[in-house]
Structures are given as C-alpha cells and as structure tokens.
Amino acid sequence: MWGPRTDDPPLAPARPAPLIDPFQRAITYLRVSVTDRCDLRCVYCMSEDMAFLPKRDLLTLEELDRVCSVFIARGVRKLRITGGEPLVRRDIMHLFRGLSRHLGSGALDEMTLTTNGTRLKAHAAELADLGMRRLNVSLDTLDPEKFRAITRRGDLRVVLDGIEAARAAGLKVKINAVALKGVNEDEIPGMLAWAHGLGMEMTLIEVMPLGDIEPDRADQFMPLSVMRERLAERFTLTPLPDRTGGPARYVRVEETGGRLGFITPLTHNFCESCNRVRLTCTGKLYMCLGQEDAADLRAVLRASPDDGPVADAIAEAITRKPKGHDFVIARASRPAVPRHMSTTGG
Ligand code: SAM
Ligand code: SF4
C-alpha cells in the first residue's frame, strides 16, 4: 500500500510563494498598527494634544485577524504588532490569541510586538504562552525624571517592571532607544551596558521626520554616525554581517558580548533589501514608510466577506512598492511625511 509510513517525518505545510515586488524583493514581513492611541506622548512621536481617530475608522479585531491571515496565506512569514501602543487597545489579547493559530500551523515563523512596556507586566506571560518568542520595548532613558519629560507622563518603574515580567516569562527583549540630541545622548553608553548586562539587545534609532509635533526636529536630531564614533571610544565595536531585511545594521560590542543595532534612515539608505509593508490601524497598506502611496484595504474588507478581493488588492498594491524613500531633515523641519509614526506603526 502506498501512503505515508509511520516513521516518515511529518509533511511540512506547503509554503505559499511570497509576493514579489517590482524590484524582485520578496514581501515576507508585515507590520500592523492596531491603534493610533497611546498612554504616553513621546516628544518625537506625538503632540501633547493628539486628536485620535474615531473608533469606526479603525479595523475591528476581526478585520485585523482577517487581513493578517490573508497576508499569511500570501506568503508573509513574520508579523509585528505595533501602534500607537498596541497593548492599550481593548481586548487586544483576543487578536494575539487568534493569530497564534498561524504559529501553531507553521504558516507563520514569528509573531512579535513593539511596545512601550507600560502594560507588559499584565500580558507578558500570556504572550509567551501563545508562542511569542521576543519583543521590542522602546525606552530612551533610565532616568525617571527624563523618562517623564520625554514621554510627557510616563512612570519609568512601570516599564522596568514590564521588562522584568517579559524576561521572567522567557521572552527575549530588545531595547529600542531614539537618540535625542542634548537629552539622552550622554546616557547611551550606560544604557548599553545595562541592557547587555541583562542579556538584552539594544538598537539605537535616529529621529525620523514623521508627523507634525511641537518641538523642532532639527533640534532633536542626533546623527548616529556621531554616536557610533563616541561609543567606539569606550567600546570595541565589531561590525556584523547580520541583515534582517530592515534598516538596522549591527555590531558586536566586544566588552559586553551583546549586539547593538543602528537604524539610520537619514544617514544611510536601507531600501534595497526591504522585505516589509505596513498596515495602519485604519486598514491602509503602505508599501514604504517614507512614501505617501497606500492601498485602502478597509474598503475592500468591508465590501465583501470573501477574502479573494482582499488578496487581489494586496497583490496589486505590492506591484506599486517603490524602490525607496527620500527622507531629509530639512532645516524648516517640515515633516517629509505628514502622518505620525503612531498611525503607520513604528
Ligand atoms: N508605542 C510603541 C512603542 O513606543 O514601542 C509602538 C509604537 S512606536 C510609534 C514604535 C517606535 O517608533 C518606537 O520605538 C518609537 O521610539 C519610534 N518612533 C516614534 N516616532 C519616531 C520618530 N519620529 N523617529 C524615530 N522613531 C520614532
Ligand atoms: Fe506612544 Fe510609542 Fe509614540 Fe511613545 S513612541 S508616544 S510610546 S506610540
């Protein structure tokens, strides 16, 4: 009799061919913003009095699950949930629970999260149970006063407790810090030693010109080329060949043995290997963080319960993925892109 023998390894699920953009890049990574709201107001990200979107404009949790699942059926292997602050969205764990079925089936390699950490203590254990392996926590300072000033309201202790809870649950935590001129630049070496001392990777991010905010961006901008030179005076930085298809470039810090990433959209171009697209909380699919072109998937999702038109709209949008962005920090500090990072998802 023909048929699988019992001692054969189980058949791996067939992998769908990924969507390929006009520049031959396979689109395997989707970042999804699940809310534009946040419990913090970081000075480089939001204005003090942000106007948030009405609820009806947001994709429902069911619509988010549906659209993510269509992407996964079209070859997306990695999903990052972001915001705004994803963990402030009501019932957000319902979405994580639902999407974790794709980890279980092997259709998805990774489901991950970018968070400010304020609600992590409550959710870390369940996220780990659902199959999440790692997450990014954004933290720009270890000084409680400075933390309150940068976030305009946050309590550093709560975030540190969240990080501890995530580590205790076995999640690998990466610390993302935006380098801010005159604000946290002196603290970066100390933060690096702290993060690596706890076995956490760290990535430094340059301020990007996204969305209107009150402070002048040119005043906030701290070139990471300068930061890297300064770190090199204290640490031995060995460049690593690691590439994630994203904007980060990595070094190993020999003294700590840890990895440090630099995200430098303004001083270096990272577009040639871009494997990602971004979905906003209102269902707009942006093919590039730095360009205005987007496809309205919400309209397609709401027009029919059939997933076919959604898959077609996604495939059509990918044919419009541009070669790259053209951010420039203008002295006038007019944003290159008017939407905030919290809408598109960082
Ligand atoms: N609230 C979550 C958090 O803070 O991690 C997720 C959303 S937040 C928009 C994602 C990332 O974008 C954060 O690491 C934040 O520091 C970064 N970010 C926000 N605005 C930025 C800007 N104008 N330039 C560079 N990074 C920015
Ligand atoms: Fe909120 Fe994250 Fe933006 Fe800070 S960076 S205001 S935590 S969305």
Chain-centre distance for alpha carbon 14: 27
Contact 230, 288 (CB under 8 A): no
Neighbours of 91 (CB within 10 A): 8
Report phi then psi at 32, rounded to 5: -120, 125
Q: Which amino acid is at 115?
A: T
97-111: buried (b, 16+ CB within 10 Å) or exposed (e) per residue?
ebbbebbeeebbeeb
Number of alpha carbons in the 13 Å side-chain half-sphere of residue 191: 23
Residue spans of the domains in the chain: they are 20-344
Per the annotation, does 50 bind a ligand? no
Report phi then psi at 101, rounded to 5: -60, -30
- Which helix H or strand E contains 287, and what residues bound it? none
Report phi then psi at 260, rounded to 5: -125, 130
Residue 112 vs residue 4, higher pLDDT: 112
Distance 38 CA to ligand 2 centre (A): 6
For ligand 2, atom 4: residue with the closest CA: 42
Per the annotation, does 288 bind a ligand? yes
Distance 193 CA to ligand 1 centre (A): 22
Distance 342 CA to ligand 2 centre (A): 7
Q: Which atom of ligand 1 is nearest to the CA of 85?
A: 1
216 has pLDDT over 80: no
- Kindly state the average pLDDT of the residues 121-136: 98
Report phi then psi at 272, rounded to 5: -60, -25
Q: Which amino acid is at 249?
A: R
Total residue count of the chain as it appears in this document: 346
The bound ligand whose nearest atom lies closest to the alpha carbon of 40 is 2
pLDDT at 335: 54
Q: Which residues contact 229 (CB under 8 A, 6 or more apart)?
A: none
Contact 113, 124 (CB under 8 A): no
282-298: buried (b, 16+ CB within 10 Å) or exposed (e) per residue?
bbbbbbbbbbeebbebb
The bound ligand whose nearest atom lies closest to the alpha carbon of 151 is 2
Spatial distance between the Cα atoms of 133 and 254, rounded to a whole number of angstroms? 25
Distance 283 CA to ligand 1 centre (A): 19
Under CATH, domain 20-344 is a member of which superfamily?
A: Aldolase class I (3.20.20.70)
Q: Which amino acid is at 113?
A: L
Q: How does the average pLDDT of the chain come out, rounded?
A: 90
Q: What is the phi-psi region of residue 170: left when phi exceeds 0, alpha when psi lies from -120 to 50, beta otherwise?
A: left
Q: Which atom of ligand 2 is nearest to the CA of 151?
A: 4
- Kindly state the average pLDDT of the residues 137-165: 98
Distance 307 CA to ligand 2 centre (A): 32
Contact 345, 211 (CB under 8 A): no
37 lines ligand 2 (CB under 6 A): no
Q: Angle at CA 238, nearest 5°, toward 178 and 249?
A: 40
pLDDT band for 122, please (50, 70, 90 cuts).
Answer: very high
Per the annotation, does 68 bind a ligand? no
- Kindly state the average pLDDT of the residues 281-291: 91
Q: What is the DSSP letter of 52?
A: P
pTM of the entire predicted model:
0.91
Report phi then psi at 33, rounded to 5: -90, 125
With H, G, I as helix, E, B as strand and everything else as coil, classify residue 276.
strand
Lowest mean pLDDT among 16-25, 42-51, 110-119, 204-213: 204-213
Strand ranges, E, within the chain: 19-20, 26-27, 29-33, 78-82, 110-115, 134-138, 172-178, 201-205, 237-239, 248-253, 258-263, 276-279, 284-286, 294-296
Mutate which of 33, 35, 41 for ligand 2? The one with the most ligand atoms within 8 Å of its CB, which is 41
Q: Which residues contact 309 (CB under 8 A, 6 or more apart)?
A: 300, 303
281 has pLDDT over 50: yes
Give CA torsion, residues 176, 181, 183, 189, to 10 deg. 60
Q: What is the pLDDT of residues 55-111, one digit of tens each?
A: 999 999 999 999 999 999 999 999 999 999 999 999 999 999 999 999 999 999 999
Quote the tokens at residue 85.
Answer: 């602050």
DSSP strand pairing (26-27 vs 19-20): antiparallel
pLDDT at 9: 58
Q: Which amino acid is at 266?
A: L
Mutate which of 32, 35, 40, 339 for ligand 2? The one with the most ligand atoms within 8 Å of its CB, which is 40
Q: Which atom of ligand 2 is nearest to the CA of 114?
A: 2
